[in-house]
Amino acid sequence: MKDEFEFIESITPRQTDQASLVKGIGDDAAVYRGSDEYDEVICVDTMVEGVHFRRDTLTPFQIGKKALAINVSDLAAMGAQPIYYIVSVAASADWKQEELEDVYKGMFDLAQEYKMDLIGGDTVSTPDTLVLTVTVIGRVERNRAVYRHTAKPGDVVFITGYAGRSAAGLDLLFEKGVNGSFSLEEQKLVKAHQEPQPHVKAGRILCQTGVRVSLNDVSDGVASEANELAEASNVRIHIDARHIPIDEAMSSYSREQQLEYVFFGGEDFVLIGTVKEEDFSKVEEFFKEEGLFITKIGHVLSGEGVYLKEENQLTRLEKKGYNHFQKRG
């Protein structure tokens, strides 16, 4: 297998049978009818030791917390409120019971923030790694879920936080190890990688404003996620490099390295999306009222592809974020 996205496309059903299904494969999560007032939102992710995490960069507690955060972020991108989670663990013999308990403690720590309940799962053995599969279920007001496919020419592109910090933190962890000596700025970047915070409140605001919004979470880098928005909506996106917000903790990096982390790093779990230009100030005001920030970083045009505007030059941003089946050195 060369590309997970091509594989997903190849196994996606061409028809569905359940009348209650609102949105199936192709967005951050699936949506189906729950009640007269709410739709249910569900998604699943798997983390494999040695592929998605290593014990020299994350503690067992952080592994669990991050495993749940990844899924909660997908719910945030749909505008949903998290309510339940289910966990399947496949553990090798070199994982002690106390370490596995810490994995669950990490999940519970994040779940408490949203009053999520653990409602089931499975525990099995595996020969040589830890495999964590987490399913989360959320709820959103009926017909108010937010999708990727609703961007239109004339919209502005926004982001709800800083991208690039997680990738920078991971490089620091590779360099110094989980118990390394980090400066205050480096500690901030390392924590952004080890304990990312899903933007649930931001997603809820964007869902409840009543304006047309398209949305995606930044799990595979801004370039990849912007391309997913553009492809789903059949539009062209221009991102202005001058407007990309960069955390001060990354000020010691060159501009080239900063943008490399932003566009191709991933695992920041901020939200990227689009909204009508005349509605952006309204959305921005809602964010300010909640003590959150949202930044306009580009525009939507007719056409296809994603382009970076820098010093009056346009450069195509390819969809080359994290891909589980690409070979790495």
For residue 19, CA distances in Å to 24, 35, 36, 231, 328 come to: 12, 13, 15, 26, 43
pLDDT score for 306: 98
pLDDT-derived band at 272 (thresholds 50, 70, 90) equals: very high
Span of 2-6, 87-91, 200-204 with lowest mean pLDDT: 2-6
Q: Does 14 show up as a binding residue in the annotation?
A: no
pLDDT in tens, 40-62: 999 999 999 988 899 889 999 99
pLDDT score for 322: 45
Q: What is the DSSP string of 127-155?
A: SS--EEEEEEEEEEETT---BSTT--TTE
The one-letter amino acid at 326: Q
Q: Does 238 show up as a binding residue in the annotation?
A: no
Q: Does 109 show up as a binding residue in the annotation?
A: no
pLDDT in tens, 66-105: 999 999 999 999 999 999 999 999 999 999 999 999 999 9
Q: Does 311 show up as a binding residue in the annotation?
A: no
Q: Is residue 18 predicted with pLDDT exceeding 80?
A: no
- 251 with 184: CB under 8 angstroms? no
pLDDT-derived band at 325 (thresholds 50, 70, 90) equals: very low
Q: Is residue 161 predicted with pLDDT exceeding 70?
A: yes
**Residues ≥6 apart with Cβ < 8 Å to 152:** 212, 233, 235, 274, 276, 300
Q: Is residue 35 predicted with pLDDT exceeding 80?
A: yes
Domains observed in the chain: 17-141 (3.30.1330.10), 155-316 (3.90.650.10)
Q: Does 220 show up as a binding residue in the annotation?
A: yes
pLDDT-derived band at 321 (thresholds 50, 70, 90) equals: low
Q: Does 219 show up as a binding residue in the annotation?
A: yes
| Nearest-angstrom CA–CA distance, 160 and 179 | 30
Q: Is residue 162 predicted with pLDDT exceeding 60?
A: yes
pLDDT score for 21: 81
pLDDT score for 179: 87
Q: Does 104 show up as a binding residue in the annotation?
A: yes
Higher pLDDT, 128 or 75: 75
Q: Does 39 show up as a binding residue in the annotation?
A: no
Q: Give the Cβ contact number of residue 207 at 10 Å.
A: 20
Of 306, 283, 307, give the one whose Cα is nearest residue 296: 283
Q: Does 217 show up as a binding residue in the annotation?
A: yes
pLDDT score for 326: 42
For residue 179, CA distances in Å to 59, 147, 170, 287 come to: 10, 40, 13, 36
pLDDT-derived band at 11 (thresholds 50, 70, 90) equals: low
Q: Does 45 show up as a binding residue in the annotation?
A: yes
